[in-house]
Structure 1
Amino acid sequence: MAKGDRLCFGVDLVTFFHPGFFGLQSHDAIIEHARAEPHAFWDKILDGAEASGVTGVELTFSPFNWQDAIKTYGSVDRFGAELTKRGLTLCSGFFAELEAAGDFTQQEAQRAIIDKAERYADFLKACSSDIMVIGAPLRQTLGAQPAIFHDFDRAKVIADFLNRLGAILYARGVRLALHTEAHSIFAAARDVDLMMMLTDPAYVHMCPDTAHIIVAGSDPVQLVDRHHERMIIAHWKDAIGQMPADTQIDEHIHDRHQAYFCGFGLGRVDWPAWIRLLRDRAYAGWAILELDAAPDPVRDIANGLTLVRQALLPVYR
């Protein structure tokens, strides 16, 4: 983000995870294409990000992660040069290892997570980014047995690890921002309030995702207002409403989310109230426009930017 800017707009690369964007038929075909022709794959994504009008990108899971970027272009510096020549900045990187780690309260699992996070942090700093967005562990499907309760004691164990991880990342020049992922332990209002209370604001920050908060049954404006001082980056996305309380939470939960996401201004997010909140709380930082696997991501992000610039930024200013 350029010094002196109030809001800068980026895109999470998950937005490009649609077969139609690559002229393919399936997500498996995208992964195969990324392996077989990595330069064509990455060049198309970065060209698309540039064409959409954003100035930043957020890396995410493979084949859109930092290891893939280095493997494709040969080094951190060369990847940075590919961004620079397109007028792009690496604004942040998404870290999904907590969700995939299983019981990360075990010391061995924690050591593995810390090692991955440290290497990721070094990459981010080398690309002039200082934000790592971290997905929280998923909740259990309602009614599953034996029931696992996300109570104070369980939340305290998780918060203690997040505090330590945040301090480790801070020592490497990177800030930890928890992402409000629907059906995780950090999306519904009560869960966010609990984790914000238990974590140290010096080391654990927040990346609210407006759509995921709606899908979780909460109001993003009210929720973020309570914790606005913890927000260092935000995902701007729209959703049509809350998912059923008994939604199956398994390895396909992120696919189930997609039916509830929609284009900017077509869902339940109160964008005028959202931009007034950011204005009144003097938020300055990255705004990540995101559409999970958009068929025409360049057009959709460009349209979202048009809505923002015409209807929202005049209010913000």
Structure 2
Amino acid sequence: MHRRQALSALAASLGALRERAAAFYPGKRPHIQWSVSSFLWTSTQWRDTGTLPYTEMLDVIRDTGFNGYRFTGWPSIVERIGMSLSQLEKELSKRDLRIATLSFSGPADDPEKQPAMEQAARRACEFLKRFGATELVTFSPRRVNKVLEREHIRRACLFYNHLGDVCAEYGIRTGLHNHSQGQLIETQDEIEQLLRQTDPKKFHWCPDTVHLYMANCDIMGLFRKYAERLIFFDLVDAKYQYLDHDLRLPNGKVEKAGSQNGTFLLGNVDYGDGEVDLEGILRIVKGVGYKGWINMDLHYARVSPRHSLQRSMEYVEKRLDPIYA
């Protein structure tokens, strides 16, 4: 056999071996994709004006081993990323990254404003569909006086069922994202009210563990009870720390001592540094067969985004991946 023929035969043999190995050994994470939120950059790293160093963020996400990110600041942020959507598609493809979802909100409890919110949701779904995403994360409206809460939740739930139908037209699912900083749905009883009053086939659950933690919710109890309604969730470790000093952020903003937002930021910690039972949550969601995105919605990085994401991905690989293996 000539040398060229031998090399060709060897290459064919190795190719067949790789194909058999790929068929035998599933991908590293066949059921779970890990994302981060671009809010870490838009809220603490970048200034509010000017073109954003968007590809630098994409490089950090890729380099630290995450599969994609939640697009925040939509739609206004599109004008600041320094590229067209077509170019963004190319930049994502070069890095093998995906847009997992986007953050969506509006006055769902105001019937007069619901038509405009529906049109905004349609535009959001068109954006997500373009990038191959299948979930829309919906935030609740602004908080109201406790006396009015039940009525506003009732109105919002009626609209959310309709919103689920609207999103389904685009092949998109949507669900609630709880938030502990001045939104209608913050506490455990409010979360459960909403989930009871919405159709589980139309409107789902996209919780955030740091906000559950800050609202003193029974995190594990909620996951055990409602895990089957999950379509996306933010897994964030947390540890309460009151801001007793002025905190200067990388973007030049200053959180004053005693501020609620500064205290919230300090409560965000890298995986393994906080009090959220990350492994317990993974066991619960695995138990119901959850498949999809898990998002690290870290709001504050003590050293840098790269440092925090790298540390957290090491925790994922060591402590969380084996749970889903």
User: TM-score normalised to the size of structure 2?
Assistant: 0.79
> Against the structure 1 CA distance between its residues 165 and 18, is the aligned structure 2 distance closer, same or farther, given a 3 Å change threshold?
closer
1:192 Cα shift? 1.3
2:120 to 108, 116, 119: 116
Give yes or no for the alignment of 1:6 onto 2:31: yes
Alignment partner, residue 280 of structure 1: 287
Letter in 1 for 2:100: C
Alignment partner, residue 143 of structure 1: none
Deviation string, structure 1 residues 215-252 (Cα, Å, up to 9, x no partner): 11012221021111110111110121499xxxxxxxx8
Q: 1:121, 1:169 within 8 Å by CA — same for their partners in 2?
A: yes
Q: 1:76, 1:126 within 8 Å by CA — same for their partners in 2?
A: no
Alignment partner, residue 228 of structure 1: 227
Separation in 2 of the partners of 1:189 and 1:242? 21
Written as runs of structure 1 = structure 2, the 5 A alignment for 1:218-297 is: 218-241=217-240, 254-294=261-301, 295-297=303-305
Q: 1:9, 1:55 within 8 Å by CA — same for their partners in 2?
A: yes
Separation in 1 of the partners of 2:305 and 2:241? 24
Separation in 1 of the partners of 2:294 and 2:284? 14
> Against the structure 1 CA distance between its residues 239 and 87, is the aligned structure 2 distance closer, same or farther, given a 3 Å change threshold?
same
Give yes or no for the alignment of 1:199 onto 2:198: yes
Separation in 1 of the partners of 2:141 and 2:271? 27
Alignment partner, residue 24 of structure 2: none
Structure 1 range deviating more: 223-232 or 273-282: 273-282
Structure 1 range deviating more: 163-172 or 290-299: 290-299
Alignment partner, residue 106 of structure 1: 111
Q: 1:73, 1:79 within 8 Å by CA — same for their partners in 2?
A: no
Give yes or no for the alignment of 1:312 onto 2:312: no
Written as runs of structure 1 = structure 2, the 5 A alignment for 1:63-82 is: 65-69=74-78, 72=81, 74-82=83-91
1:155 Cα shift? 1.9
Separation in 2 of the partners of 1:59 and 1:122? 14
Give yes or no for the alignment of 1:299 onto 2:307: yes
> Against the structure 1 CA distance between its residues 16 and 71, is the aligned structure 2 distance closer, same or farther, given a 3 Å change threshold?
closer
Separation in 1 of the partners of 2:68 and 2:146? 42
Alignment partner, residue 90 of structure 1: 99
Separation in 2 of the partners of 1:59 and 1:257? 21
1:76 Cα shift? 2.9
User: TM-score normalised to the size of structure 1?
Assistant: 0.81
1:154 Cα shift? 3.1
Separation in 1 of the partners of 2:94 and 2:34? 18
1:260 Cα shift? 2.2
Which ranges of structure 1 fall in alignment gaps of 5 or more residues? 22-26, 141-145, 244-251
Separation in 1 of the partners of 2:170 and 2:321? 34
Q: 1:235, 1:288 within 8 Å by CA — same for their partners in 2?
A: yes
Q: Secondary structure in 1 aligned to 2:217?
A: coil
Separation in 2 of the partners of 1:110 and 1:241? 36
Alignment partner, residue 176 of structure 1: 174
Q: Secondary structure in 2 aligned to 1:201?
A: coil
Give yes or no for the alignment of 1:31 onto 2:48: yes
Give yes or no for the alignment of 1:48 onto 2:60: yes
Letter in 2 for 1:301: L
1:50 Cα shift? 1.2
Q: 2:111, 2:155 within 8 Å by CA — same for their partners in 1?
A: no
Structure 1 range deviating more: 110-119 or 74-83: 74-83
Q: Pick 1 or 2: higher relative contact order, CA cutoff 8 A, min separation 6.
A: 1
Separation in 1 of the partners of 2:63 and 2:43? 17
Separation in 2 of the partners of 1:93 and 1:159? 20
1:127 to 121, 128, 131: 131
Letter in 2 for 1:156: R
> Against the structure 1 CA distance between its residues 76 and 272, is the aligned structure 2 distance closer, same or farther, given a 3 Å change threshold?
same
Separation in 1 of the partners of 2:321 and 2:114? 42
Letter in 2 for 1:86: R
> Against the structure 1 CA distance between its residues 284 and 315, is the aligned structure 2 distance closer, same or farther, given a 3 Å change threshold?
same
Q: 1:11, 1:289 within 8 Å by CA — same for their partners in 2?
A: yes
Separation in 2 of the partners of 1:158 and 1:296? 38
* Identity, % of aligned positions: 23
Separation in 2 of the partners of 1:308 and 1:147? 39
Structure 1 range deviating more: 291-300 or 191-200: 291-300
